[in-house]
């Protein structure tokens, strides 16, 4: 993995140290973007979800379907266009996505108590942090689990869309259990991928885009873990 291989197949300590420092800075940049994205989402969700003048026009009209489906449109757009975007455009798209996700998540403040939302957030953060750390430090190749996790993700998305119309509590319970397992696995897998995709010889523009897209992937995993956990730990408003 390290650059500047020596004549006997080894790596100089200087090159290895420089690569490790570059990788550390890259991962820190990824987590910073993700963290700021969650702050944007949380602020938008809280402001909209606690302001009747904002949430009533949205969630009492067909506009709620636009708000609910807009994040999915962003996911497809961002995933397919990231290669052709500039780093600055990728960042702007990421921040816009986080704000739109905040609009979508505003509804949790209408359904669940503030205390249970905060509690669930910390549980989700603990689960995410533990599995992401595992994905970063493990020597085990997690790529073989990738196809299984992607298939699980597709199944969860399809089942969730179907259940919007069915409204089955049993199906929702199954979706929540399977979904948490899938997104916890994706957190470790994505973290390892982000680490392995880093290359010291990337230019600044490429590293910036890689960091934004890495933050985007981890952000999605965290938000989905949080939403699915709410089905178990969330206390509904009286």
- Kindly report, residue by residue over 17-40, the tens digit of the pLDDT: 777 788 889 999 999 999 999 999
Task: Give me the count of residues in the chain.
Answer: 238
Residue 236, helix vs strand vs coil: strand
Q: What is the pTM of this model?
A: 0.86
What pLDDT shows up at residue 200? 58
Predicted confidence at residue 9, as pLDDT, reads 41
The total of other beta-carbon atoms located within 10 Å of residue 170's CB is 9
Measured in degrees and rounded to the nearest 5, phi and psi for residue 236 equal: -75, 150
- Give the residue-averaged pLDDT of 200-220: 85
| Rounded (to 5) percent helix, strand, coil in the chain | 85, 0, 15
């Amino acid at each position: 993995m390290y650059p500047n291989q020596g004549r006997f197949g080894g790596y100089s300590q200087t090159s290895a140290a420089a690569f490790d420092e570059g990788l550390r800075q890259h991962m820190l940049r990824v987590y910073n973007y993700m963290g700021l994205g969650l702050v944007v989402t949380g602020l938008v969700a809280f402001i909209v979800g606690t302001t009747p003048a904002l949430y009533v026009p949205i969630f009492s009209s067909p506009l709620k379907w636009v708000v609910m489906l807009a994040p999915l449109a962003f996911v497809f757009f961002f995933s397919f266009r990231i290669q052709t975007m500039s780093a600055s455009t990728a960042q702007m798209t990421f921040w816009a996505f986080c704000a739109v996700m905040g609009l979508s998540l505003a509804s949790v403040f209408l359904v669940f108590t503030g205390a249970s939302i905060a509690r669930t957030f910390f549980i989700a953060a603990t689960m995410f942090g533990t599995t992401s750390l595992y994905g970063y430090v493990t020597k085990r190749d997690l790529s073989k689990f990738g196809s299984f996790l992607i298939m699980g993700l597709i199944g969860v998305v399809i089942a969730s869309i179907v259940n919007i119309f069915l409204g089955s509590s049993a199906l929702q319970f199954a979706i929540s259990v399977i979904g948490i397992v899938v997104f916890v696995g994706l957190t470790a897998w994505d973290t390892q991928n982000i680490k392995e995709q880093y290359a010291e010889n990337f230019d600044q523009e490429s590293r910036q885009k890689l960091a934004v897209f890495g933050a985007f992937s981890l952000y999605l995993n965290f938000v989905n873990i949080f939403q699915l956990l709410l089905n178990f730990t969330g206390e509904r408003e009286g």
